Structure 1
Amino acid sequence: MSKQALLNGSWLITVRPSLPDARAPQVRGHMRIEADETALRVSGDVYTRRGTVPDTIPPDSEPWYPTFPRSQYSWYFRSSGATFSGDVLTVAVVRHLWDRATSEFVASDTGTLTLSGDPDLSGTLRFGDVTAEVRATRTSTLYRGCRVEVDAMVNRSFPASATVGSGAVATFRSIYATAGWDLRVTTDEISIPDDADLTNAELQTLLTGHQRTATDDSWRLWLLVGSAQGGLFGIMFDDDTFPRQGAAGFADAGLGGSPVIDPAARNRRLNEVPAAFLRTLVHEAGHAFNLFHPKHDVHAPAIGTEIMNQTGDVIGFATVADPYPGNASFFFSEHDRLSLVHAPDPQVRPGWKNFGWGHGGLSSGLPTPVDVAGLAAADDGDEGLLLTVGLPGQAYVGEFLTAEVVLTNTGDRARDVTGLLTLAEGDLVFQRTSPRGELDHVLDIAVGCGPRPMVRLEPGESVTGRAQVFFTNQGVTFEQPGRHTVVARLTVDPLTVVTSAPAVIDIRMPGTDSELDISAKTLSAGVGRALALGDFTHDEGARALLTDLAEIHSGTDTGAASALVMANALARPFTDYRAGTTRAPDPAEADRFLDLALDGRTPLRAVELAVTVASPAEKDAPVVADTLNRLRDGARTIDADVDLDAGFDAAEQVAEDFVRPRAR
């Protein structure tokens, strides 16, 4: 092994002023050095605090990864060039300074880090005219670590290992070790009651009710082996105050009978095919570590068969001779590996920044290392397919907003295209440019993964999807006044991405008393999350605000959407697994809120709103069917100038498309 390779791994670093100063804060952090014949990269995260009490250091015999409270985070650094010569490591450093008030990087500067020694390193760190002493102690030959707690529903089990296509035996831990991560998996509860109708909101309370209480600052992830949730294979569902802490894989999901599925796996449950189920769980955990599907990443890594590719894409590369899951690659792409190793702690660590943060410019994290391919190519497309995105031209901050996406076959031959035209199921993503020129990705707050249902489009036919874009992985999506530009990108099959023309939406501040009241209520995080989930869960504050919006502002789409959330929530039970309580359905109240939402609206607009407040991952959300049934029965009082039958056929088509889009 070369001396350079001996630098590889995780290091505890401490930074001290060159001149001793008892009043100086403690500056320490986690440095990662990747050194081999082809690369020499250095990155690190630094935390500062006042006080003289030393940090607790684990025994030297145990590999570990320095972790500190998020509240002490101060800066991140990454090498822009590094050399190792004469036993001296010299690193050109770019430092990004963190603002604790805004939880964003706000400034950057450059400096030089010089280290030497064996086995510990020491040297200097210089920024401008300021030089500090640095000491570094290696803590592991790997780069990062995380504890993974697995809980399972009764009669479902975590796949401890699986024989993969190469013939090797893989485990959850061994797969992450290929990316330099040390994941220590502990199976805890194995008797969570079976529930095939879990909503995303209930998954959140399962997490908070079953995850063990943290006793230190170590990184943690919770994985659920669940029974089923529609046709999803898995989901990263966690989007509360501390997001990205939980994900799930669904044991009862079916693999289907395609000839490119291995004969032994055809029409089997995921739990009966260890390689497929293990891959799903590793993939969902990757989302919790803030990894994107390749087709959604602005750096455009190739779509292939590695871990973060969707199952539908991997199956798309399978053949009868090389069937799924044997054709799957049980390792991470180089782009994802670099993110896992070198991205800043706020981007990667579960429970910190929202999903998607760091996948754009510096405003939303940090760019990928310079030796990775550049931004997505501009020549994506297919001359025989046209994608359009419809948004209102103008809205005010706090107004509930929906988008319509239409894919049309403009060619002269039939095309098989994806049926997943939602922001929650992987194939569709919005790229939004804010008034300040910041680029980010807009997705649903929960990211579900599963097989890709295809739709046959004859020439001239279209397939349509609808989504709420008020509250997404960006929080309140259009909270910043000014002109926003939105481009839709749809992966229509494993090899084709179609991009829409830009849609422009001008966002203004609320003006009237009514608008000001609506904005004040909807900008509450609980209300936003309820509008995205279709349920106020256990948040009584959000329930009260939604009730006000529904009763006072039912004449607006925002008030109607709020009423539909209430109707959806109160039409079904909700189990708070954290508190061990169940909210019983209240059919009379559900009907009252449904009447508020439908009054004065055409059937088409009523159903359009219903399918956007229902979570896309919950195809059986009661609000969609209840809205249609209420319209059919005519059991409501409506304005005289509203024709109950107007657009009813179109409304039924919208409801059908919510469950599974069809060619029209």
Structure 2
Amino acid sequence: MISNSRIVPKHDPFDGDYSGNVFDGHLHGALYAMTGRQNPRTGINKIGLVIADRYESLPGAFGIMFDQRFVPNSSSRYLRVPREGCAIFLDAITSKRQSDEQLRELSFTVIHELGHVFNLQHTNATSFMRQSAGHPHVFRSDAFKFTQDDRYRLSQCTASRHIRPGGSAFEDLGDMANANTQKQSQLSTVLDLRIDLSSREFWRFEPIELDIQLYANGSRKKSIKIPNAMDPGHPQFCIWIDDPDGERWRYRPERRFCGGEGTLTLKPEETWWRDLAFFGQAGGYTFSKPGIHTVQVTLECHALGRVESNKLVVNILAARQDDPLYESAKSCFEAEAIGMLMHYRCFINRLPPGTNRLRDYCDAFSDHASAGMGRYKLGRAIVRRLKQDGKESVIGRFRHLASEELKQAVTDRSLGDGRRSKAEKDLLSL
């Protein structure tokens, strides 16, 4: 709640239950409830603003713009609309702003996020597109405006698909881009970044995870503090992919964060780790063609310089018709509900349809890496929902299912130490 104001949404797809954390699935579901089936080829006439308490993936975020959603194996143009909506999070705003600043911050954040929907990018200039979450107070009145360049871009909304919502992908500004580009910083001498994949050879629909490790190199004797921007939704964090034809492109996240990342403290000889669902991105699967690809991550750390990871060589397998493993994995993971469960690692109100098919697949092909990953993601998604709703909720009767899947997942050697540790903690919580 912002001061004494009450916001009543026009559409309420979850019956008023926006308390606590919301997940990516909530956001995309709420946006779809507002905008419906829009065809980007003929132009869209609706954009959505989602208002919620706080975002589970980044509780400090004031707002995000989310791009095309991921839906496995879907050719529907209606699910591939770029820049269709954004969200703001009231708890983050009220926790960082005094009561007399909250309405001004809310106004600023709403216009900032809507600016992203029109493909406006962050700037250091005093304007609506400057990031505010990292500042101790709301910006002064002179920031409540757009720069001259952004005003020109907005004036071209009708004519340019690079500005018009539903047009080009976020960050694809075409002839609307700035002539000036930021200089690339020097390589960091104090940080190291290492990446790996849960499997180096897989079909494009398999639920692959990207493992990310960041650590201070051996020459450091003191802790280092950096912005906790270890997610492709932050502009500082980029995943680059080179395909078999030599084309280099950037992984496209479905949501773009606006500050709120906090700080990450790296102690000497300590490794920070996270995993990231990697087989899907905004608009569809990450990999569109079979063959050898390379994957690399770069991280901009301001005064500490730019960090470049190792390069991974991965093989995207071609289709194998009449292969029982291929046919079963394709049928299981390309099913919309299961593919989205594997990608978002959560579900909204009830177990997704196809859960029994997933369990049957994991039983039949228990030696394959995708089986252990399937059990891990299903078990953790149930635990995540239990933490949200409580053990006495409707979903509480699936506690035994979560326990069974996680117990089998932790015995899978391909799961990796980091995911195994997460699964063991979840088991203890049950």
- Compute the TM-score of the two structures, normalised by the length of structure 2: 0.73
Partner Cα separation in structure 2 for residue 226 and residue 306 of structure 1? 25
Counterpart selection for 1:283 from 94, 104, 112: 112
* 1:398-449 alpha-carbon deviations (Å, 9 max, x no partner): 3322222223323546432123323345542212232233333224433344
Partner Cα separation in structure 1 for residue 303 and residue 130 of structure 2? 10
Q: Does the 8 A contact of 1:340 with 1:348 survive in 2?
A: yes
Larger Cα Rg: Structure 1 or Structure 2?
Answer: 1
Q: How many residues align?
A: 399
Q: Does the 8 A contact of 1:430 with 1:486 survive in 2?
A: yes
| Residue of structure 2 in register with 1:405 after alignment | 212
Matches for 1:448-527 after TM superposition, within 5 Å: 448-473=257-282, 475-493=284-302, 496-511=305-320, 512-527=323-338
* 1:269-326 alpha-carbon deviations (Å, 9 max, x no partner): 7x9523322232223323434455x5xxxxxxx65665445445x53xx8xxxx6534
C-alpha spacing 1:370/1:398, structure 2 compared with 1 (3 Å): closer
| Residue of structure 1 in register with 2:250 after alignment | 441
Matches for 1:163-178 after TM superposition, within 5 Å: none
Partner Cα separation in structure 2 for residue 492 and residue 227 of structure 1? 29
* 1:29-66 alpha-carbon deviations (Å, 9 max, x no partner): xxxxxxxxxxxxxxxxxxxxxxxxxxxxxxxxxxxxxx
Partner Cα separation in structure 1 for residue 272 and residue 417 of structure 2? 20
| Residue of structure 2 in register with 1:228 after alignment | 54
Matches for 1:230-379 after TM superposition, within 5 Å: 230-237=59-66, 239=69, 241-243=79-81, 244-253=83-92, 265=97, 268=98, 272-291=101-120, 294=122, 306-311=127-132, 315=135, 325-326=139-140, 329-332=143-146, 340=154, 347-351=162-166, 356=170, 359=172, 367-369=174-176, 372-373=179-180, 377=183, 379=185
| Residue of structure 2 in register with 1:626 after alignment | 426
Counterpart selection for 2:195 from 367, 384, 389: 389
Partner Cα separation in structure 2 for residue 437 and residue 337 of structure 1? 37
For 1:390, what is the secondary structure of its paired residue?
Answer: strand
Partner Cα separation in structure 2 for residue 222 and residue 385 of structure 1? 40
| Residue of structure 2 in register with 1:205 after alignment | 29
For 2:376, what is the secondary structure of its paired residue?
Answer: helix
Partner Cα separation in structure 2 for residue 610 and residue 563 of structure 1? 14
C-alpha spacing 1:532/1:303, structure 2 compared with 1 (3 Å): farther
Partner Cα separation in structure 1 for residue 30 and residue 4 of structure 2? 17
Counterpart selection for 1:566 from 378, 402, 412: 378
| Residue of structure 1 in register with 2:339 after alignment | 528
For 1:249, what is the secondary structure of its paired residue?
Answer: strand
Partner Cα separation in structure 2 for residue 545 and residue 347 of structure 1? 42
| Residue of structure 2 in register with 1:123 after alignment | none
Q: Does the 8 A contact of 1:228 with 1:251 survive in 2?
A: yes
Is structure 2 residue 230 aligned with structure 1 residue 421?
A: yes
Compute the displacement of 1:371 (Å): 6.3
Bigger share in helix: 2
Compute the displacement of 1:249 (Å): 0.9
Compute the displacement of 1:378 (Å): 5.2
C-alpha spacing 1:409/1:569, structure 2 compared with 1 (3 Å): closer
Give the root-mean-square deviation of aligned CA atoms.
4.3
Partner Cα separation in structure 1 for residue 149 and residue 304 of structure 2? 19
Q: Tell me, which stretches of 5 or more residues in structure 1 are unaligned?
A: 1-151, 159-185, 258-264, 295-301, 360-365, 576-581, 612-622, 631-664
Compute the displacement of 1:476 (Å): 1.2
Q: Does the 8 A contact of 1:385 with 1:498 survive in 2?
A: yes
C-alpha spacing 1:349/1:528, structure 2 compared with 1 (3 Å): farther
Q: Does the 8 A contact of 2:3 with 2:103 survive in 1?
A: no
Partner Cα separation in structure 2 for residue 272 and residue 565 of structure 1? 41
Partner Cα separation in structure 1 for residue 86 and residue 357 of structure 2? 29
Compute the displacement of 1:470 (Å): 1.1
Partner Cα separation in structure 1 for residue 112 and residue 376 of structure 2? 33
For 1:590, what is the secondary structure of its paired residue?
Answer: helix
Q: Does the 8 A contact of 2:185 with 2:305 survive in 1?
A: no
Q: Does the 8 A contact of 2:62 with 2:88 survive in 1?
A: yes
1:386 maps to amino acid:
D
Partner Cα separation in structure 2 for residue 419 and residue 479 of structure 1? 30
For 1:527, what is the secondary structure of its paired residue?
Answer: helix
C-alpha spacing 1:503/1:325, structure 2 compared with 1 (3 Å): farther
For 2:254, what is the secondary structure of its paired residue?
Answer: coil
Partner Cα separation in structure 2 for residue 479 and residue 233 of structure 1? 34
Bigger share in strand: 1
Compute the displacement of 1:195 (Å): 1.2
| Residue of structure 1 in register with 2:400 after alignment | 588
Matches for 1:87-102 after TM superposition, within 5 Å: none
Q: Does the 8 A contact of 1:303 with 1:494 survive in 2?
A: no
Partner Cα separation in structure 2 for residue 406 and residue 197 of structure 1? 26
1:472 maps to amino acid:
Q
C-alpha spacing 1:210/1:476, structure 2 compared with 1 (3 Å): closer
Compute the displacement of 1:223 (Å): 1.0
Compute the displacement of 1:220 (Å): 1.5
For 1:422, what is the secondary structure of its paired residue?
Answer: coil
C-alpha spacing 1:499/1:218, structure 2 compared with 1 (3 Å): same
Matches for 1:69-148 after TM superposition, within 5 Å: none
Q: Does the 8 A contact of 2:332 with 2:338 survive in 1?
A: yes
Compute the displacement of 1:477 (Å): 0.9
For 2:207, what is the secondary structure of its paired residue?
Answer: coil
C-alpha spacing 1:573/1:608, structure 2 compared with 1 (3 Å): closer
For 1:455, what is the secondary structure of its paired residue?
Answer: strand
Work out which structure has the larger RCO, using CA pairs closer than 8 Å and 6 or more positions apart in sequence. 2
1:557 maps to amino acid:
A
Compute the displacement of 1:504 (Å): 2.7
Compute the displacement of 1:486 (Å): 2.3
Q: Does the 8 A contact of 2:410 with 2:420 survive in 1?
A: no
Partner Cα separation in structure 2 for residue 497 and residue 346 of structure 1? 32
Partner Cα separation in structure 2 for residue 590 and residue 197 of structure 1? 21
Q: Tell me, which stretches of 5 or more residues in structure 2 are unaligned?
A: 71-78
For 2:226, what is the secondary structure of its paired residue?
Answer: strand
| Residue of structure 1 in register with 2:19 after alignment | 195
Q: Does the 8 A contact of 1:487 with 1:499 survive in 2?
A: yes
